[in-house]
Structure 1
Amino acid sequence: MLNFDFYNPTHIVFGKERLNELDKLVPQNAKVLITYGGGSVKKFGTLPKVTEALKGREVLEFGGIEPNPRFETLMNAVDVVKKENIDFLLAVGGGSVMDGTKFIALAANYKGNDPEKILMGGAGTVEEAVPLGTVVTLPATGSEMNMGGVVTYNGGKLVFMSPLAFPKFSFLDPTLTYSLPKKQVANGVVDAFVHTTEQYLTFPVDGRFQDRTAEGILQSLIEIGRKTMDEPEDYDTRANLVWNATMALNGVIGSGVPQDWATHMLGHEITAFYGVDHGQSLAIVLPSLLRLRKEGKKAKLIQYAERVWNITTGTDDEKMEQAITKTEEFFNSLDVKTKLSDYGIDASGIDLMIGGLEAKGLKALSETRDITLDVSRQIYEAAL
């Protein structure tokens, strides 16, 4: 097992009908800015419940944070924070709202005139952030219990990380996710699944707890993925999706093991240039990437085949191919297609995406840094 530090200060409040407990967790004298995306938090009654729980405090709202939150939108919120002397942020929504709110928390106290540098490796220069909490309405990203985020800037999706961005608390009420469209639920299942494989399908370092926990998450998502789409108000099934999505990216399964993240980096370019949903982009990239990197990931791919998919017969090559095919079939069973052509993208788009990777300096991806731009091109080509 590799050396590691583990730190996660987020207080999780899990279960139904607990939003009234916001009153205990948000300081009584706080001036609160609630951030959210579209109108669904109003339409389905989540926002009124939140504001009722915050009664007695001065509360402002900032809506309109889009999927793949844009830097310009978030800077408008930063202006509100500064002008109104906001001292607590509460994100009500899914990963985009939570990621965007983390950026707002950091940018509001950024000392320079170029807050975009937070997205370019400069998050560590921020010395203080506005405290934030979250109310999760879409299980997918794990942003409710980690220190990272992704923001769209100049057409690209850029990652930032800072310990100051950990939420103070996060409310995970599975019933708040019942109204989600099937498509969003499916994307969330895929996102959590690939978050897990990015930390698991690398190379062995005898991280037994991490491996078994990752395998448990993957098996759980396989078991509940379609059911939670078809039976959205089955509480136990949806509760398992919510908690698995959180555990997939809160640092536990990634501590002390190598991590990949090439699937995400390649997927970000598909989203940036073609507007394909994040979960869909991951489903496109992962099978092709695994096929092209079979040798480098051989030991873990065979372990994945045997432990997650119960594939115990055949040659090593047959086991690996069956496991990758099973993964594709799982994504397709969620109505998430796995080819670029399924989204109207042909070979002419590959140059654009390779150019995007090159512009960001993403020329040596994966846990072993062996995915060059040429290999990235091959992965995209194999996904056509």
Structure 2
Amino acid sequence: MPSSSQGSLKNTVARATNRSALMGAIFLMATSAIGPGFLTQTAVFTSKLGAAFAFAILVSILIDIAVQLNVWRVIGIAGQRAQELGNTVLPGLGWVLSALIGVGSIVFNIGNIAGGGLGLNAALGISPVLGGAITALLAIAGFVVKKLGNLLDKLVVVLGALMIVLTVYIAFRSSPPLAEAAINTIAPEKIDLVVITTLVGGTVGGYITYAGAHRMLDSGETGPEHAATVSRSSISGILVTGVMRVVLFLAVLGVAASGARLEGESNPAAAAFSYAAGPIGLRIFGVVLFCAALSSVIGCSYTSASFLVPPRAEFLTRQNIITIVFIIVSGALFLTVGTAPAKLLVFAGAFNGLVLPLGFTLILYIALFRGKDLLHGYRYPKYLIVLGVVALVVSWALAWFSFKGVFELLS
């Protein structure tokens, strides 16, 4: 084969690989934000607040838009991971951020593995403990077997799409009061700051903030010349996440509005699916929960490991090893306790809500004051800075006002 043809083939393969990585980044962000903790939080809080929970969903989506547009833009233009940027701005800051994210990630991953076990139990009837072990092993296989590892991006896309389709079916069956939900979206009957902070932390904060952006770096689509691609990818991820949040809320709201009591259920999300569609609803819940769990284990472990190594090809093997160790540790802790205590999961979400403004302050500082060096002279859009500052003020306010409430959750 002529050398020109070989070069053309290599370029085609490279472009396909980059597109796959970008799609993986989009869905990695989305599926990380809609893991088992989010399913549980949505069922619990919808049961508690009813249609008024729509306002919390709206706030979380708006904060997500402002945060992710800026995080993807800064990390994508700089071509560096968050901890590298942090250490450049202030030596040691990146490692502090890594440590804070690691604390929440370990707890969340225990919950993710436990969620996978519960999902397989609901879908297939196998033991939750065995199901959790299977979930962890499948995630590990993705980082051990090279051929399977190359399919991880596609797997995350398939899992995310399947979750949305099945949840749309449940939402259709539950017949939610759409008018009431729409009114409460902008004029809520009740506002609960702890609920909002916990939801934001569980869907935007912690490792979730950086999951998609860090994966995007692997695509090579970085630097000022790829700003448009970075922007489109972040918007796509936000849309996928927002759709899933709204659809799941409506599915549970329809059940709650019908008079079903979810508060006393040991698994309110499973109960909601069962009320909506009977025995098949429970099976569907199992599949959705397993998809959410497996994709979240992959996203949580990958992102946590990415905070410990630079995004360069020579460190890929080291990052995979750290990722596998992270899954093994989380799996061992899950097998030791047998489950993830509900209060611990709620605390992890709330804790991530407190971590969110710390890391986001770094991102906005770079956008405002380090454009010439860290962003390679890129002229940062003013509207993104305005959106970011508003989101930062809101996230700090939520963290401040809910600080006491977070610890009351554990009492």
TM-score by length of 1: 0.31
**Higher relative contact order (Cα pairs below 8 Å, separated by 6+ residues):** 2
Higher helix share: 2
TM-score by length of 2: 0.29
